[in-house]
Every structure is written in C-alpha cells, then in structure tokens.
Amino acid sequence: MKPFKPTTVIFRENALEYPLGKKLYESFKEEEKIKIHIVAPRGPFPLENNVSFRKKFIRAKKTLIVSVRSLGKFQSCKPSAHYQLPLVTGCPAHCHYCYLSTNLGKNPYIKIYVNLEEILDKAEKYIEKRKPEVTIFEGSATSDPLPVERWTGSLARCIEFFAGEELGHFRFVTKFTDIESLLNLKHRGRTEFRFSLNSNYAINKFEPTTPLLEERIKAASKVFQASYPLGFLIAPIFIYDGWQDEYKDLIRKLKESLDNKGKRISFELITHRFTRRAKEIIEKIYPRTELPMNEETRQFKYGQFGYGKYVYPEEIRQEIEDFMRKTINEYFPEAEIKYFV
C-alpha cells in the first residue's frame, strides 16, 4: 500500500527553533499538493470549522502537526510498560474500533514532536530514579509511530538510545510495514518490536487503509531475522461465525513464517470492548460500520481509568481466552502470553 502522505502540514512556530522542525519545513515545502501553515505555539489551527463532525475527522487524519511536546510527567502505561514515551500522537489509519477516536474526538490530528532529545533526557531521569530495576517505555500508547518515521526518524533514534541504556527498554507496536530503515540498527535486544495482527475478517471489515495480514507477517519475519525481540498484539479479538478457524489460521501462518527455535516471542491478547461515548463517535464517523456494538449482548465493566465499558460476558471472554491460549501454545509452546484482557 502507498505510504501515508498528509494533505496539510501545520507548524507551531516554536517547532521551527529545533533542527528537526527546520528540516521538516524545508522538506514539506518541496512537496506538491501539501498545504503548509505556520501558527503560534498555542491556539487554534487555520482550518475551516463550518464542516460536519465526520469531515473534520477525515480531514484531521490527513493533517500533520509539527509541534513541541511539553515535558510534564510521563503517563503510566499498564499493562504494556511502566511509562508512555510521547513520540507521536494520532494515526492515519481508519480502524473503526480505535480508542483514539474517542480520546481525540473529531480532530485526531497526527502530531509529531521535534524535541525528541529533551524527551529522551527525561526518560533517562526516570531510568535513573528506578535503578536498579529495568524501566520499560511504550512508544505507541497514543499512536502508531511507523507511518511518519520516514520524516521523524524518532523510532530509529529511540532504538539507538535504548541500546545504550542497560536499565532502559523500549517497545512499540505497529500495523504498518515500512520497516526497512530499522532493520540494520544496533538495538542490543533492548527494543521490542511488536505487530498488531487480526483475523482476515476483522482486517477487511474494520481496518481499512492498513496493510493486509500477509504483509504484516512478512514484515514481522524481517524484523525477526534482524534479531529484535518480537511480539504480537492480537486485538481486538471478535466473536463471529468462523472466528475460531480464522484466528487459528492467523497463528498457523505466523508459525510458518517464523523459525523461532531458541528465540522467544510474546503475545498480548485483547478482546473487543467499547464505551458509550466511543459508540456515538464511531457511528458518526463510520455510519455503515458493522462493528458489533449491541450493548444488550455485552457486560458493563469499569476499567482501570475509572470509566465504564462494554465487554464480552464472562463466559464468552473465558471461551476466547481458553481458545487463544490453547492455540498459541500448540504452535508456539515457548512463547510468553503477557496478558489477556
């Protein structure tokens, strides 16, 4: 599939004070059919407001914001890591179920941060504070950073940074496959490279504008050959006619592509859930979605952040967990299943 290309790039003035900000400005000036704006360090963007919620959402998915990240406290990131590492916010993909649709609302701009060295300096202070424990940072808690890597280089810089940190580890997850620039880096096993996978049914129905399952598995195989610690996020897991056959086929294809003798890989498993607010937003953005959001067939549960969500009833959740654990253990008996939720 074609790499992501924004239609609009908005620079915060203070971003131009950083080398990456200047580099990006000169680069995007040479691109055809990209509108460029320079705006104040704070305040609104010069975009028309008299458009529908849906149009604002779609426009934002094609809008890149070049900004300076404030250096407040890093957010926690359980169960994935100790802290979020804020590299990018937002994602150009249109996954119907994505929680960013709720968190970012009608304006899910893709924001890249040019003060990466300041962010890494702060990460180093967190590492120092938790010594002698290892501190793990998640680079994709609020984004998929890979689609903008060809401009930012932030993943490459982080991989090299953490290679030199004995007590600091880095991990990120992606649905995308443009991984060539990361394959030959010296990572020293301190960056866990993860791919978000799903069944063909789920990808075709709910993950438009993302690579196919086979393309993601092919990219994962290359990453594996580059000796990165490799993980897979299978999420969100859906129940539908034939779901067991398709998820088993996913794991089988993965096994066929990876010669993992003597190497450990990990899995993270998340079942589909949604909030009432997410449902309202999703139905505005994707009015024809077939995403299963019938509240009567779900169980209401409060999450770790204090808000309620609709999850599969306990007996179905247990059925999914038993099946996924059994299937993964069949094909990858040495794999670690980090969690199932």
When pLDDT is averaged across residues 169-189 and rounded to a whole number, the result is 97
What pLDDT, on a 0 to 100 scale, did the predictor assign at position 304? 62
Strand partners, 62: none
Give the confidence band of 46 by pLDDT, cuts at 50, 70, 90: confident
Average pLDDT, the chain: 94
Q: What is the pLDDT of residue 262?
A: 59
Q: What is the pLDDT of residue 324?
A: 98
pLDDT number for residue 170: 98
Mean pLDDT of 143-161: 97
Which two three-digit tokens encode residue 329?
């253990």
Average pLDDT over residues 210-233: 96
Edge-to-edge strand list for the sheet holding 230-237: 76-77, 81-84, 135-138, 168-174, 191-197, 230-237, 265-271, 336-340
Instruction: Please give the pLDDT value at position 296.
Output: 95
Cβ neighbours of residue 109 closer than 8 Å, sequence gap 6 or more: 45, 60, 63, 64, 65, 89, 90
pLDDT tens per residue across span 257-312: 997 665 779 999 999 999 998 999 999 999 999 999 999 999 998 866 667 899 99
Exposed (0-12), middle (13-18) or buried (19+): which is 100, by Cβ within 10 Å?
middle
> Structure pTM?
0.94
The per-residue pLDDT for range 225-263, each reduced to its tens digit, is 999 999 999 999 999 999 999 999 999 999 999 976 657
Tens-place pLDDT, residues 77-99: 988 899 999 999 999 999 999 97
% of the chain with per-residue pLDDT over 70: 97
Query: Could you give all domains of the chain from N- to C-terminal order, each with its CATH number?
Result: 198-272+312-341 (3.80.30.30)
